[in-house]
Structure 1
């Protein structure tokens, strides 16, 4: 289901509430003042929100930068951004970002004369360590040929792309001019290549569908900062001006064109399995859409394997991979089906229409408001639920629906 993460959060909040009530009982029993409880509860909730990345403090980015720079000065982190990042006057206007559940840290700053977003991946539990230890506990690193082959295999597994050895060799180096140990560089490169987003930025750079990669320092990397489309949307649409409505319609056409590129302009179509407004970015000239969060962006063949991995299931949602939905085989109770929906269906449901709960729109999307003609709403509903299913839609929106929607929106943007 779309809100699997939301249900998990609510479950955790219930446990938190039980804990707070227990603390209240203890405080009342001890005849402590209510203010004491309120402070305790507020502090606990804030700490939980920090841990789950629902809110953040600018102290956090400073801590991560300090750790990276400690590694840099000790010689274990390298990269073209290290000098500037670790210079007191180098990176300015550092501010943290909320809601980054896929990353250890996300924060923005000024690099050179433009804004960038810094990202630090979470450590992967099944991460393949690059080196191994010999009998004397000395670190042994792979040869250059072996390291290149490891990169080729990594790319094949994660993106089903066969990388030639020339490109793999190029990816094995960091754009960094100072002298350093090759083994340290290998460690830094290998750590970065484990991150799905960093790898996607490298592999699809020439297609200009994702933010530009600015560089890295250790496991921290920076990308071009774009305005998210949520800045052109607001919750209360009752007093929408015509200019605001037309701008959102144009944005929607740009999103449709972007999805078409994902399906037809790449070596293999890409599935975006974690879609929300803050993940779509628009360039300053308002001419191009790019996708900003690549943690759950995969080629179709890879997502099909993820949703048909043969794992146990009791219901269809057990086989879903975020927004990429699938089916549970109710005969074998195994996940054996590829992705059932597509990018267009998810965008119509979550971006254009909005947050739907129990068949009702709870939060309007980009194209839902008092200026939305009935014919547009009908097409959007068909796009969001092509087979008119009860419950969570699991069918792909067709090419015909896409063409109808594009034609209608193009007409509205000119009217």
Structure 2
């Protein structure tokens, strides 16, 4: 009961904010300022309805919803306009959100805007033109082969949200959440049945009085059977492969915590969201030239950390711990307990090797691939040709 009382003020604020956003979006839609594939459902047909606030802070707007009788998630772009602001006024949308592109912008000019923006977002890639075309195709809600000003303004506003950029870049990846539609900078994604790797997460304020061993024990008791955890793990390792030197460059997982990792009802791995993922270009751009006193000053997100050159008092641009090492550290808690006795020793050894991997370029290719494939093979051999495969 105490937990719900603690969440009530936050969720009330959260819902109020999103109701304002929905009204704001629909007002702009009716005025022809924005467009989107879900605008009609949200503003006219009322077939997209918000159900429950899933956020624990008003800076991260996520809601369960029903769209045409199917469960979905609705996310609002408010968090992007709140950076660096603390006052209540920051809960409102930025009035300049739909200032670009301006009336009179040609299609060639808009394409150049997209190319420049995406180059900054994911780095210089040979496939950047394909990504630009993907965004333009997404913007063309009417399907007439043209992009109206309202469509262009909407997709440009969405591109200011890091997760949206990543969803577009990774839309053909099996383990990334899929974009279902948008209206202005409000977007709809598929839900993930289990949005965290562990079912019990103790709030920070309760941790001093809640024994860590009790939390671990309860999570182990609530966890899926080991073969199902092995299946989830294989999917997680596949995702690490997908974001390492992909078509649009490399991506870092900058918050490898259990609450970012989920799975569906079939125990197939799914990233719960992509807010913790950042492109290599973004992370290196953040680190490059950054002043520091210690390594902690060279951290992007929660755990994308580089070393601090204390003589130069500047951050190095190479992240120390790669995705695979962070994921393996997570798997030590998730995968080892309940593992088959004939597998446990080998599994424990491979995970120990994995967590010591370095982010140095000299190790990133062959060594990482070898460790990852060994882990996948070990797990797959154990569950293949069973009902869990």
Normalised by the length of structure 2, the TM-score is 0.73
* Residue number in structure 2 paired with 1:227: 193
* Residue number in structure 2 paired with 1:345: 325
* Residue number in structure 2 paired with 1:12: none
Classify the secondary structure of the residue corresponding to 1:149.
helix
* Residue number in structure 1 paired with 2:334: 366
- Partners of 1:169 and 1:57 lie apart in 2 by 29
- Partners of 2:254 and 2:186 lie apart in 1 by 24
- Partners of 1:243 and 1:320 lie apart in 2 by 33
Classify the secondary structure of the residue corresponding to 2:139.
coil
Cα distance, 1:378 vs structure 2:
4.0
* Residue number in structure 2 paired with 1:278: 259
The answer as to 2:46 corresponding to 1:105 is no
* Residue number in structure 1 paired with 2:28: 71
Cα distance, 1:343 vs structure 2:
0.9
Larger Rg: 1
- Partners of 2:289 and 2:273 lie apart in 1 by 28
**8 A contact 2:62–2:75 mirrored in 1:** yes
* Residue number in structure 2 paired with 1:119: 75
* Residue number in structure 1 paired with 2:315: 335
Cα distance, 1:150 vs structure 2:
0.6
Picking from 164, 168, 174, the partner of 2:129 is 164
Classify the secondary structure of the residue corresponding to 2:273.
coil
Q: Encode CA deviations 1:174-215: one digit per residue, 9 max, x unaligned.
A: 41479x994333322211121122122223323444222111
* Residue number in structure 2 paired with 1:380: 351
Picking from 176, 186, 210, the partner of 2:176 is 210
Cα distance, 1:275 vs structure 2:
2.5
Cα distance, 1:83 vs structure 2:
1.6
The answer as to 2:160 corresponding to 1:190 is no
Picking from 308, 312, 315, the partner of 2:294 is 315
Cα distance, 1:324 vs structure 2:
1.6
**8 A contact 1:238–1:370 mirrored in 2:** no
**8 A contact 1:116–1:224 mirrored in 2:** yes
The answer as to 2:217 corresponding to 1:236 is yes
Q: How many pairs align?
A: 341
Cα distance, 1:304 vs structure 2:
2.8
* Residue number in structure 2 paired with 1:261: 242
> Do the aligned partners of residues 284 and 147 (structure 1) sit closer, same or farther apart at CA in structure 2, a change above 3 Å counting?
same
Cα distance, 1:157 vs structure 2:
0.6
Picking from 34, 38, 42, the partner of 1:81 is 38
* Residue number in structure 2 paired with 1:90: 47
* Residue number in structure 2 paired with 1:357: none
Normalised by the length of structure 1, the TM-score is 0.69
**8 A contact 1:238–1:369 mirrored in 2:** no
Cα distance, 1:217 vs structure 2:
0.9
**8 A contact 2:41–2:47 mirrored in 1:** yes
- Partners of 1:402 and 1:181 lie apart in 2 by 43
The answer as to 2:270 corresponding to 1:290 is yes
- Partners of 1:185 and 1:267 lie apart in 2 by 24
* Residue number in structure 2 paired with 1:408: 378
> Do the aligned partners of residues 167 and 140 (structure 1) sit closer, same or farther apart at CA in structure 2, a change above 3 Å counting?
closer
> Do the aligned partners of residues 237 and 80 (structure 1) sit closer, same or farther apart at CA in structure 2, a change above 3 Å counting?
same
The 10-residue stretch of structure 1 (114-123 or 241-250) with the greater mean CA deviation from structure 2 = 241-250
> Do the aligned partners of residues 340 and 88 (structure 1) sit closer, same or farther apart at CA in structure 2, a change above 3 Å counting?
same
- Supply the RMSD in Å over aligned alpha carbons: 3.9
The answer as to 2:118 corresponding to 1:155 is yes
Q: Identify unmatched segments of 5+ residues in structure 1.
A: 1-41, 134-138, 354-364, 388-394
- Partners of 1:105 and 1:233 lie apart in 2 by 21
